Chains A and B, each alone.
Chain A
Amino acid sequence: MRNLWIFITKYNAFFLFLIFEISSLLIYIKYNSFQKATFLNSTSKVTGTLYSQVDALKGYLSLKETNDSLARENAKLRGQLKASFYVDSVEKRKVNDTVYKQQYSYIVAKVINNSFNKRSNYITIDRGSRDGIQKDMGVITGAGVVGQVIEVTDHLAIIQSVLHKNTRFSAMLASTKDIGSFVWGNDLDPHRGVLIDIQNNAQPKIGETVVTSGYSLFPTGIPFGKITNLHAKGGGLLINVEVALAVDFTKLQYVYVVNNKFAGEQTGLEAVQNKNE
């Protein structure tokens, strides 16, 4: 017993190393694979407050760009108003009996923490469950798709950005509607993604826009980006193409969280179907 004690105290550095290394690796494997990191991440009280304070300072530096992007978006939206369309038909009588039911609504949020140079990137925003944000909602900007909400607290939420090794969204070519999956490439470039698994009878062209398919969290037609290279690595029987991302993740300021009113209904229905099989 005494010899054992002497042995342990003589090589205490090694044993201490084992204890701490094993515990930190346990934390790493447990919390990163299951995304349960609610107590130790930037939604937690201290880091969240610090980040929003620093971000309030940084916001002044990019006021001009934010204004520009908002003005651009306003102009685009104004173009979609009924008043800005010229009525082409002679027929003046309109039948307004179609009842639209709103499927998507949008919650605006400010980005208070953002990363883009790691293998798995997350974005923290300053809106949470009190503002109506729930897990698994889609997130976009005026330019295109940003990611998906994975963690919500009362006042903050974490988004798994497109720049994440596990992110996979249903996407399609804008012109031919060929479906594929949109993922981030392997080279950690925050400006490029890959559209994979397109059927090999499709004929993508350089410069063509890749948009959301409407099968998942987003409305149809939100852009991912434009095709830059038709011969991305891998693929095999199916086609992979490289895409320049429409959103500049290095300069995110404001995002919209998409609230799909039918999302719960859809997942419930599909769960029933899966159970029946």
Chain B
Amino acid sequence: MNKRDWRPYKTKMSRTILINLARFIVLVFMQVFLLKNITFYNLATPYFYILFILLLPFEVPNVLLFALAFVTGLTVDAFYDTPGLHASACVVLALVRVLFISITVQKDGFDNEPEPTLSIMGFRWFFTYVLILTLFHHFFLLNLEVFSFSEIQYTLSRVVLSSLFTVFLILISGLLFFRRKERK
């Protein structure tokens, strides 16, 4: 790789980092100052911040992915006064993300399709991706929070309704930032 090829690669890289950093800050702020106070009948609470982990680029190495998920969870935990709770749910989310992507996406298309967004991957793939990952995350989060099987029915209904709420928010945000990409 000579110098001419290397430079645009580097600027693209730093741009990705900047975008993800901004996304992280905005999402965590939204979660802890706005969405934390929103709940429907004590059943549906959105955990919108997981969008940050969902939208990390495909080529992010596994070490970095798990570390970022862990840190994101701890940051939200610091505001929710529940150290470790969101962190463990986010690490589960990262594992499911790795498995899901390895099953559904071919490894050679990474140059054109860097990020798993709605505009790049299409509605069907994105919807399945978001739905499955959100369900796993919420299932672990809410069961770990209650920490007993005696209220499992109530917890499961919370999982389903909260997931619907979160998926709804994520799809709306996907449509808001929808960009029609001309494929080369």
Contact = CB atoms under 8 A, between A and B. Distances in A.
Interface of A: 12-14, 16-17, 19-21, 23-32, 37, 40-42, 44, 46-47, 51, 54, 115, 117-120, 122, 124, 158, 186-190
A31 to B, nearest CB: 4
Among A16, A42, A119, the most chain B Cβ lie within 10 Å of the Cβ of: A16
Contacts of A44: 78
Contacts of B33: 54
Contacts of B36: 115
Contacts of A27: 83-84, 87
B84 A28 contact: yes
Contact of B81 (A23, A117, A122, A186): A122
B14 to A, nearest CB: 25
A56 to B, nearest CB: 13
A77 B39 CA distance: 36
A40 B80 CA distance: 10
Nearest to B145: A119
Contact of A37 (B39, B63, B81): B81
Given A40-B77, A117-B39, A32 B83 contact: yes
A32 B83 CA distance: 7
Contacts of B99: 13
Interface secondary structure of A, over-half rule: helix
Interface secondary structure of B, over-half rule: helix
Contact of B88 (A24, A37, A115, A118): A24
Contacts, number: 99
B167 interface: no
B91 A40 contact: no
Among B79, B80, B83, B151, the most chain A Cβ lie within 10 Å of the Cβ of: B83
Give the interface size bracket for B toward A. Answer: 35 or more
A150 to B, nearest CB: 11
Contacts of A186: 151, 154
A20 B78 contact: no
A24 B85 CA distance: 7
Given A20-B69, A40-B77, A13 B82 contact: no
Given A16-B62, A28-B82, A42-B81, 14 more contacts: A12-B63, A13-B95, A13-B99, A17-B95, A20-B70, A24-B74, A27-B84, A27-B87, A41-B78, A42-B78, A115-B36, A118-B80, A118-B145, A120-B145
A81 to B, nearest CB: 39
B98 A13 contact: yes
B77 A21 contact: no
B156 to A, nearest CB: 14
Among A20, A31, A158, the most chain B Cβ lie within 10 Å of the Cβ of: A20
B92 interface: yes
Nearest to B90: A24
Given A31-B83, A47-B79, A54-B33, A24 B73 contact: yes
Given A42-B78, A44-B78, A119-B145, A20 B91 contact: yes
